[in-house]
Amino acid sequence: MSLFKRLFGRGIDAPRTAAEANTDVVKLSTATERTRKSFFGQIAALFESAALSAELWDDIEALLVQADVGVTTTTNLVKRVKEQVRRAGIKEPAEARQMLHDEMVRILQEHELPINQTAKPHVVLVVGVNGAGKTTLIAKLAHRYLDRGQKVVLAAGDTFRAAAAEQLETWGQRVGVPVVSRGQGGDPGAVVYEAMEVATTTDCDVIIIDTAGRLHAKVNLMQELTKLRNIIRRKMADAPHEVILVIDATTGQNGVLQAKAFAAASDVTSVAITKMDGTAKGGIAFAIAQEIQRPVRYVGTGEKMTDLALFDATTFVDALFGRE
């Protein structure tokens, strides 16, 4: 199936033309360059060996763990591929490589869901630990939706951190979308309520809500998110339509565990992996898909508003193995 066909129907911000789909591919490919040139390059090179030996599989396993695929995910993955190779009687390393490739795609596709974006406004809640890249992701999403002809409003729901609202306002100006904000110390619930009203009265297609990554020690972040969700529901019963969990690719397995706790406590619908451009350990995407059990929907590929790619499992694995 062509990339365009795969991406088509993945929401109102999916590519509308083959050329647009290609920009997502180029960004994913560029952002995974460090991973491709290090661990996955070495894996690809191992498959150029003359024969499939136990040692070769051990080396591959070690490289996958080093690339942050995670010990459990790696062990299960290699076990499955070895079993498939044995059953199919495969002797050619190149064929085994294809099986590993396909199995890796399968891991990433396992939790994929059809995306339904028919509600107006489509309400997106963005959550994640502090510094993960939530606010930047929101700016990128706003830019992407705007570019697709959608009318967007942002809600500065992080009223805890000093300058958080200003950061979102600055992004709003840069991107060219309105931001509902009450500054530091305001009630996030009131901000969200007002933004929902603004979205309805100004005929917005999409509302994207920023949230705090950290609160006072005595305030439970998860309870706050539940409260926000209830306020949103008072305005629109089936919202939020998307809850995107933002995970920093550079935080390693520890970051995945932290995110897992987050996902367990909030109804996350998908994951955005940020800072893929800043790591050689892009294998983290597999650990995330396995541990969080949600589809990866976006990848952050840099600090600019255009540095966002819609995730596609096949494209991602192709990029890691160095196929264009």
Q: At closest approach, how far in Å is the CB of 162 from ligand GTP? A: 10
- Rounded distance, CA 285 to CA 272, Å? 10
Residue closest to ligand GTP, measured at CB: 300
3-state secondary structure of 107: helix
In this chain, which stretch among 4-12, 51-59, 117-125, 299-307 interacts with ligand GTP, using CB under 6 A?
299-307
Pick the closer one to ligand GTP by CB: 15 or 300. Answer: 300
Pick the closer one to Mg ion by CB: 150 or 167. Answer: 167
Pick the closer one to Mg ion by CB: 35 or 135. Answer: 135
Q: At closest approach, how far in Å is the CB of 164 from Mg ion? A: 5
What string marks each residue from 118 to 137 as x (binds ligand GTP by CB under 6 A) or -? ----------x-xxxxxxx-
Pick the closer one to ligand GTP by CB: 60 or 152. Answer: 152
- Rounded distance, CA 62 to CA 252, Å? 16
258 binds ligand GTP (CB under 6 A): no
Q: In 47-185, where does DSSP find H-type helix?
A: 54-66, 71-88, 93-109, 134-147, 164-175
What the block records as the tokens of 294 is 């949600």
What backbone torsions phi and psi does residue 139 show, to the nearest 5 degrees?
-60, -40
- Residue pair 162/188 in contact (Cβ under 8 Å)? The answer is no
3-state secondary structure of 312: coil
In this chain, which stretch among 72-80, 102-110, 130-138, 216-224 interacts with Mg ion, using CB under 5 A?
130-138
In this chain, which stretch among 6-14, 82-90, 126-134, 224-232 interacts with Mg ion, using CB under 5 A?
126-134
Pick the closer one to Mg ion by CB: 150 or 211. Answer: 211
135 binds Mg ion (CB under 5 A): yes
Q: At closest approach, how far in Å is the CB of 267 from ligand GTP? A: 19
In this chain, which stretch among 10-18, 113-121, 131-139, 265-273 interacts with Mg ion, using CB under 5 A?
131-139
Q: Which does 133 bind (CB under 5 to 8 A by kind): Mg ion, ligand GTP, none?
A: ligand GTP
Residues contacting 320, CB < 8 A, separation 6+:
32, 35, 36, 40, 104, 282, 283
Question: 219 to 248, contacts with ligand GTP by CB under 6 A?
Answer: none
Residues contacting 319, CB < 8 A, separation 6+:
25, 28, 29, 32, 36
Residues contacting 217, CB < 8 A, separation 6+:
none
Q: Which does 136 bind (CB under 5 to 8 A by kind): Mg ion, ligand GTP, none?
A: ligand GTP
Residues contacting 155, CB < 8 A, separation 6+:
179, 180, 181, 191, 192, 194, 195, 207, 208, 209, 210
Q: Which residues of 94-103 are buried (b: 16+ CB within 10 A; e: fewer)?
A: eebbebbbeb
What is the contact surface with ligand GTP in residues (CB under 6 A)?
128, 130-136, 158, 161, 164, 213, 274-275, 277-278, 300-303, 307
What is the contact surface with Mg ion in residues (CB under 5 A)?
134-135
